[in-house]
Structure 1
Amino acid sequence: MKVLISGGAGYIGSTVGSACLDAGITPIVLDSLVTGRREFTEGRAFYEGDIADGALVDRVFAEHPDIAAVVHCAALIIVPDSVADPVGYYRANVSKSLEFVGHLLRNGCGRLLFSSSGSIYAAGEDFSVTEESPIEPLSPYARTKAVCEGLFADIAATQPIRVLSLRYFNPVGADPEYRTGLQLRRPSHAVGKLIEAHTAGEPFRITGTDWPTRDGSGIRDHIHVWDLAAAHVAALRRFDDILHGPTRSTVINLGTGTGTTVRELADAFNSVVTPPVAVVETGPRPGDAAGAFTRSDRAKRLLGWEPRHSIADSIRSALRWAEIRDERLGDGDGENGDRGLPHA
């Protein structure tokens, strides 16, 4: 099987590509390298360019007529940037995705696996979400994901394409062979801040300790990126079993089922490093929220998928990637890479 991965030189897309290779699936990468890395395309068929470039997409399908499905990971992903530049985010994430699906239809591609986001949900009283939870995106970035899901579903309802959207929150770590990982040298997510504090010998700050969670700190759904990649492979394998007959589109959540509080994350980090990082408590930052995590019952039922890696496994993987990142990517500042994790 061949699959086209848009955004296949980015963090998620390249890791999905690695999982595909390991599963005997051939990834074809389409990426503009605006945030992706050329290093992550090594050993893979690679087309540099924009998903909205119809002539380029036509060439990809002409040269690979046996592409069976598309995994759509191409997107801008930084929440603060989306607030500062909503026009740019809607253009990149929505307008270009609409053009892209038109190109896929023209080329007879009938299967689209959309890498979406759990950030589109409104969390329940226990901070969990399911596929039936209300949609309430709180940033332009999150709204672009919700809009894309809607337009894909509308198109699939009457056009010869089916769409499966995978929604998840905070990926962590790298693939087991460290072929790919986070592009940014100093990521701004909590695991990145813990690694930075440990490296600098500085304390890690828990911002907000009065949230109505199990220990007062915020809760997030940190999941090993390799588990996410495995779910994408399972979705490709089971695509026709999930979407058949009148069912033209659906969504599946991917997560731990319990979430991890910031305090639990710091404890897990300190269980795998020496010396441990000192932890201090501070007030919440403007815009902070208690957080959310997703139930994944549907993923278990439809994909046969459950996360296999613990939060400690994810942290070990992130630590190892941080050690080798500069050597792997050949730069010291990460200016050409992603500036954080998607769906944070």
Structure 2
Amino acid sequence: MSASNPTVLVIGGAGYIGSHMVRELIEKNYSVVVLDNFSTGHRQLVTGGQLIEGGLGNVDLLRDIFSKYPIDAVMHFAAFSLVGESVQAPLKYYRNNVAETINLIETMIGHGIKRFIFSSTAAVYGEPEKIPIAENHPLNPTNPYGSTKLTVERMLADCDTAHGLKSISLRYFNAAGAHPSGMIGEMHEPESHLIPLVLRAVLSHVPIKIFGSDYPTPDGTCIRDYVHVCDLAQAHLLALQTLLEGGGSQVFNLGNSVGFSVRQVIELARQVTGRAIEAVEHDRRPGDPAVLVADSSKARRILGWSPVYENLEAIIESAWRWHRSQH
């Protein structure tokens, strides 16, 4: 580790979660290098650090970065993450999420960098067999997106055995919300996440679509576990500290361990915004499990993670502040 403040390379640091991570690292006095090709990220979301434009397909660029900067750890937020698109274009997902990650890990190993924090997903579990979902739940992804994330997790475990690469994989449930400053937030095109879709519907005066109202849940709509993006960043910081202190490879779920249905989210958004929101029912989307709720007790116990935003209303309020500022 370098003598000064640790230096962290954040891959995909101009994206939604990556930009919040960059801000958190800078506030905690880490040196930050951001690599992003802006395929889905936004330059204006990067609020500090050394920004380099490029992607993991460019091995020469990766070698230059590791030669030029005293990188102590790498955080990876650069995966494609649209489930539906992954079903339609699986090779696009395997190339970006797996093959290009191999470029990164090979370059890291070649430069003696042995700390890797991976942005993973609850999609590695597939259709849940029991709720809440713990880390030892069977891994059976039902779409290429989840399969690519699981492939990288397995690759990281093998690289620990072969090369001593220490990694922490963080399996997110539903990331939501925005930074309390209102300066950075969610900017996906196309948007696929429920909370920003509901808030956009408010601002553009269009109905919100409910995909499936016949699920085996109390109100017939899907139930999901929402975790604030700043709480995710905090968990990454704790994971980073664990690796910097010599900790071993691990996997953690990140969620609030409470589920809310689509109808409950829409009703809370009505309360937060004070606006009427029309909801229109549509058929189910293929591959949507009825209920996804995390057991994140391991992250709380081992990392000492303690989410600040455990109240969904507060998560929606932070997102509403951001979306109004953009409209």
TM-score (norm: length of structure 2): 0.91
The question of 1:53 aligning with 2:58 is answered: yes
Given residue 50 of structure 1, which amino acid in structure 2 is its aligned partner? G
Instruction: Tell which deviates more after alignment, 163-172 or 189-198.
Output: 189-198
- Could you say which structure has the greater relative contact order, defined with CA pairs below 8 angstroms and 6 or more residues apart? 1
Given residue 206 of structure 1, which amino acid in structure 2 is its aligned partner? I
Whole-angstrom CA distance in 2 between matches of 1:278 and 1:53: 46
Whole-angstrom CA distance in 2 between matches of 1:293 and 1:123: 12
224 and 176 in structure 1: CA distance in 2 versus 1, 3 angstrom threshold: same
Query: Is contact 1:174-1:181 (8 Å) kept?
Result: yes
Give me the CA root mean square deviation: 2.0
Corresponding residue for residue 83 of structure 1:
87
140 and 250 in structure 1: CA distance in 2 versus 1, 3 angstrom threshold: same
Query: Is contact 1:210-1:217 (8 Å) kept?
Result: yes
Whole-angstrom CA distance in 1 between matches of 2:273 and 2:183: 23
Corresponding residue for residue 159 of structure 1:
163
Q: CA deviation at 1:123?
A: 4.6
Size of the alignment, in residue pairs? 321
Query: Is contact 2:40-2:188 (8 Å) kept?
Result: no
Corresponding residue for residue 334 of structure 1:
none
Q: CA deviation at 1:134?
A: 0.7
Q: CA deviation at 1:63?
A: 2.3
TM-score (norm: length of structure 1): 0.87
The question of 1:204 aligning with 2:216 is answered: no
Query: Is contact 2:22-2:47 (8 Å) kept?
Result: no
Query: Is contact 1:18-1:175 (8 Å) kept?
Result: no
Unaligned runs of 5+ in 2: 1-5
Instruction: Tell which deviates more after alignment, 173-182 or 142-151.
Output: 173-182
Corresponding residue for residue 298 of structure 1:
298
Corresponding residue for residue 342 of structure 1:
none
Tell me the alpha carbon deviations over residues 284-311 of structure 1, each in whole angstroms, 9 at most, x when there is no partner.
3444431311110110011111221121
Given residue 268 of structure 2, which amino acid in structure 1 is its aligned partner? A
Query: Is contact 2:270-2:276 (8 Å) kept?
Result: yes
Corresponding residue for residue 113 of structure 1:
117
Unaligned runs of 5+ in 1: 327-344
Whole-angstrom CA distance in 2 between matches of 1:171 and 1:307: 12
The question of 1:266 aligning with 2:266 is answered: yes
Instruction: Tell which deviates more after alignment, 41-50 or 252-261.
Output: 41-50
Tell me the alpha carbon deviations over residues 72-112 of structure 1, each in whole angstroms, 9 at most, x when there is no partner.
11111112221221111111110010111000011111100
The question of 1:10 aligning with 2:15 is answered: yes
Query: Is contact 2:207-2:280 (8 Å) kept?
Result: yes
Question: Percent of aligned pairs with the same residue?
Answer: 36
Given residue 21 of structure 1, which amino acid in structure 2 is its aligned partner? I
Q: CA deviation at 1:144?
A: 0.5
Instruction: Tell which deviates more after alignment, 276-285 or 85-94.
Output: 276-285
Q: CA deviation at 1:283?
A: 4.5
Corresponding residue for residue 38 of structure 2:
33
